[in-house]
Structure 1
Amino acid sequence: MKDHHQHELDSRYRRAALPPLGALRCFEAAARLGSFTQAARELHLTHGAVSRAVRSIEDALAVELFERRSQRVFLTAAGERLRDAAGAAFDVLAAAVRELREPPGAPALVLSCEPTLLMRWLIPRLPGFHARHPGIALRLVAGGGPVEFDGVDLAIRRDDFDWGRRVHAQRLFEERVGPVCSAGYRQQHLQGQGRGARWDDGAALLHSATRPGAWADWSRAARRRLPAGQNQSFEHFYFSLQAAVAGVGVAIGPWQLVRDDIDAGVLVAPMGFLADGSAYHLLSPRPIQAGSVGAQLLAWLCEQA
């Protein structure tokens, strides 16, 4: 087992391997705005400076982040993955900076949330919470599994483990899942319509190490045969969803994690969604008192579901 010193060394190594923060900032702006020129304008830099910063990341990672065609740039699958990760990281940094700049007041409410739910569902809705409750300082941390509530006030978790008798839980929403893919992939690999629709055997099923049984569970619940095509596994559930966006294959997508992409037309869910028997809850070390900051957060979370 690694000791604390070894963990600290590993953490320093991982951080040292990151591209420079300034270059990542240039890339994030260009990816978000879809234009090097607009990114340069936002960051008060020259077009050449932004282009060189992006190129330095591509050289360091040995991947193409943008396709450059006819004076325009388009994100590659790798670029989309880095865009989402960088955007989430800068959102967390911005929230921390905002908290530091605010005058001292009530301590921030620390909310732990499973990483994929945090990035794909909670953070995109965070501006609405700040608009509704400008006086509540909320600090978000990524985490999964059992919660010790040591430095954490509340936690959002799926009930796929025993959190113990001393933990109080407030149900937020049930988990509903279904196959998701890009519109183009659907046209290529889905045959038939409605209940008769089925994936052809050339469809690639995207799996993740964090939910290894997702496809088998869906197959049993939906009473549908899985295609005999190739399978591809990813280390994290988030990556399998990003691969689906990129047109690599079909992933099992929980409704709350893919609803924004479906609304935007980035993903489609041709077979709909069904409850898998689990649900997400807001966990606390003691009952949430009516009128408290925790109660206001709980009410807002339930609205978002």
Structure 2
Amino acid sequence: MRSPITSLPALSCFRAAAKFESFSKAADSLNLTHGAVSRAVRLLESDLGTALFTRRNRSVFLTDAGRKLAQSVTHGLGHIEDTISSIRAEQVHVQVTVSCEPTLMMRWLIPRLSTFRRQYPEADIRLVAGGGPVALGDGIDLAIRRDDFDLPKNYSKAPLFSEWIGPVCRPDLHERFFENGQLRPDASLLHSRTRPSAWHAWAGLSKATLGVHPDTEFEHFYFSLQAAIAGLGVAIGPWHLVQDDLDAGILCAPAGFLKDGSSYVLLAPEGNPEQNVQSCFRDWLTDLATNERCP
């Protein structure tokens, strides 16, 4: 029957001490005290029943037994570390598929994704467009959703940011569509089938009265925002989805923004996953959303 192996921390201390033939230098390389390294070496010597170092005038030198053990420990621990690095590298290359609402993906997530790529250049993040209920684990690892439906109870929910909405239009058409911060009666309103109540929601929050305006309906929400950029009228723009256009002077928001009571969340499987691409993306996304300024 084999004797039990002395603890790995003790072997690690011995490896460093053998490399430098100095307890002080070994302690510095491991961020430990001289005493901790010395005790670890003495533990090994006690287990083996022989000296591993000859100690002379505050200097240490490997004995024959010490050199024999150092060669074996260096090879063994090196092999373990190489295996751990290989396993970690395999995890880095695991594909993570993130489902995200289309307009949020196009106008907020994709323009910011390069910062994640710079931090994790080997990560394989795949984005797919989707909204509403989602089944994680069926080809989808994470999902970003607006909480305007009943979120599943069996997923973890990390809050990202609240929804702020307001009318947006091209700056050069401001006076054509607005007067004293109010919509002009002939202002053309841009609607979308995916958010059919957007204008009424804003009117309810702002106490504005919507008259009979010329209007145009688009199939998707991002089409209505693009139509506003093209000068076709005024769209309801969530602040996080138009902030880049506001900063660039492509759009303006004459009436400001109001919270509509909804929020975006990141849905993930329950539990605390190990440090891998999925957890790195989750941490990056929540930090990004938390640190973004609000209107």
- Report the aligned-residue RMSD: 1.9
Q: Calculate percent identity across the aligned residue pairs.
A: 50
Identify the residue that residue 18 of structure 2 maps to in structure 1.
none
Q: Which amino acid aligns with 1:113?
A: C
Tell me if structure 1 keeps the 8 A contact 2:156–2:268.
yes
In 1, Cα distance between the equivalents of 2:94 and 2:270? Answer: 18
| Structure 2, gaps ≥5 residues long | 1-89, 290-295
| Structure 1, gaps ≥5 residues long | 1-102
1:302: Cα distance to partner? 2.6
Instruction: Note the 1:137-286 alignment, pairs <5 A.
Output: 137-149=124-136, 150-192=138-180, 197-286=181-270
Question: Please, what TM-score do these two structures have when normalized by structure 2?
Answer: 0.64
Identify the residue that residue 85 of structure 2 maps to in structure 1.
none
Tell me if structure 1 keeps the 8 A contact 2:188–2:214.
yes
SS at match of 2:154: coil
Classify 1:185/1:225 alpha carbon distance in 2 versus 1 (closer, same or farther; 3 Å).
Answer: same
Identify the residue that residue 111 of structure 1 maps to in structure 2.
98
In 1, Cα distance between the equivalents of 2:167 and 2:277? Answer: 37
1:290: Cα distance to partner? 6.7
How many pairs does the alignment contain?
A: 200
1:159: Cα distance to partner? 0.4
Q: Which amino acid aligns with 1:179?
A: P
- Please, which moves more after superposition, 117-126 or 130-139? 130-139
Instruction: Note the 1:119-134 alignment, pairs <5 A.
Output: 119-134=106-121
Instruction: Note the 1:92-103 alignment, pairs <5 A.
Output: none
1:252-300: CA deviation from partner (whole Å, max 9, x where unpaired): 0001110111111110011111110000000012234374433322232
1:227: Cα distance to partner? 4.0
Identify the residue that residue 59 of structure 2 maps to in structure 1.
none
SS at match of 1:144: coil
In 1, Cα distance between the equivalents of 2:272 and 2:98? Answer: 14
In 1, Cα distance between the equivalents of 2:212 and 2:172? Answer: 20
1:249: Cα distance to partner? 0.5
Identify the residue that residue 62 of structure 1 maps to in structure 2.
none
Tell me if structure 1 keeps the 8 A contact 2:97–2:141.
yes
Tell me if structure 2 keeps the 8 A contact 1:288–1:294.
no
Tell me if structure 1 keeps the 8 A contact 2:177–2:188.
no
Classify 1:105/1:290 alpha carbon distance in 2 versus 1 (closer, same or farther; 3 Å).
Answer: closer
SS at match of 1:203: coil
Instruction: Note the 1:63-78 alignment, pairs <5 A.
Output: none
In 1, Cα distance between the equivalents of 2:119 and 2:92? Answer: 18
1:131: Cα distance to partner? 0.5
In 1, Cα distance between the equivalents of 2:168 and 2:127? Answer: 28
In 2, Cα distance between the equivalents of 1:257 and 1:106? Answer: 30
Q: Which amino acid aligns with 2:178?
A: L
Tell me if structure 2 keeps the 8 A contact 1:200–1:227.
no
SS at match of 2:263: strand
Moved over 6 A (4+): none
1:217-250: CA deviation from partner (whole Å, max 9, x where unpaired): 1101111122432111111001000000011110
Tell me if structure 2 keeps the 8 A contact 1:112–1:142.
yes
Q: Which amino acid aligns with 1:159?
A: D
